[in-house]
Amino acid sequence: MIVNNRDDDGYVRLRDEIVTGRLQPNERLVELDLSERLGVGRAAIRTALVRLESEGLVERERHRGAKVRLVDEHEAVEILEARAMLEGLAARHAARRATPEDVAGLREILAGMRTRLDAGDLLGASDQNAVLHRRILQISGHATAQRLISTMRSQLVRFQFRTILVPGRPERSFAEHTAIVGALEAGDGDAAEAAMRLHLSHVAQTLSASPE
């Protein structure tokens, strides 16, 4: 699909509204309202809706228009299982590519996570979690994995904080992230992939067991 700058601006703004939760699952997406709200033309909104539908963030219904797509818990677990495979692959690549400076940066993110956990700031720790995952993807240099995982993470936005609020899970998550970074520092691709897959499988298990 060929898009111009205005189309891309509409896409970026609308996508941000969805992934940050300002637009809620099942909320109707009316072209005219969105055009006025986001300050872009209706054609750009129309193009954005098509792109976001292809990413699984928007659902269009015949004769009823578009709405923010609802991802249920069962699908969320499936997405996490798929992410585990892709992020495991990315961690393997990152282990081969990580420089001492990269590892130092990851250690700094871990320290920020630790500080927030000690302060009882679970949402802040969750944000650092996301930063760490994104940085590992960047280090991996695997552009396809980065693109696919970005879409998967966006689809999981409404579950973003569910698992971190489960008693005991924050500390286990920190230990899992520490193991991932340790494997990257050692340049051990096998261990990095296994640690990342184990971490995300635990996230999926926790999500399945946690109440709505």
Which tens digits make up the pLDDT trace of 59-106?
998 878 899 988 888 999 999 999 999 999 999 999 999 999 999 999
Handedness of CA 110, 115, 120, 123 (dihedral sign): negative
What average pLDDT does the structure give for the chain?
91
Which tens digits make up the pLDDT trace of 112-128?
999 999 999 998 999 99
> What is the reported pLDDT for 75?
92
pLDDT score of 135 more than 60: yes
**CATH number of the domain bearing residue 44:** 1.10.10.10
Q: Which two tokens stand for residue 59?
A: 């659902």
> What is the reported pLDDT for 2?
43
> What is the reported pLDDT for 211?
62
Q: Identify whether residues 180 and 159 lie together within a single domain.
A: yes
Task: Quote the pTM value.
Answer: 0.81
Spatial CB neighbours of 133, under 8 Å, sequence gap ≥ 6: 87, 153
Q: Identify whether residues 77 and 61 lie together within a single domain.
A: no
Q: Which two tokens stand for residue 187?
A: 């340049």
pLDDT score of 1 more than 50: no
Q: Identify whether residues 132 and 188 lie together within a single domain.
A: yes
Which tens digits make up the pLDDT trace of 195-204?
999 999 999 9
* Distance from C-alpha of 209 to C-alpha of 120, rounded to nearest angstrom: 23
Q: Identify whether residues 102 and 184 lie together within a single domain.
A: yes
Domain count along the chain: 2
> What is the reported pLDDT for 162?
82
Q: Identify whether residues 183 and 79 lie together within a single domain.
A: yes
User: pLDDT confidence of 109, banded at 50, 70, 90?
Assistant: very high
SS3 8: helix
Q: Identify whether residues 58 and 101 lie together within a single domain.
A: no
What range defines the domain where residue 161 resides?
73-209
User: pLDDT confidence of 6, banded at 50, 70, 90?
Assistant: low
**Which letter, b or e, does each residue of 142-154 get, where b requires 16 or more Cβ atoms within 10 Å of its Cβ?**
beebeebbebbbb
Specify burial of residue 132 (Cβ count, 10 A radius: 0-12, 13-18, 19+). Answer: buried
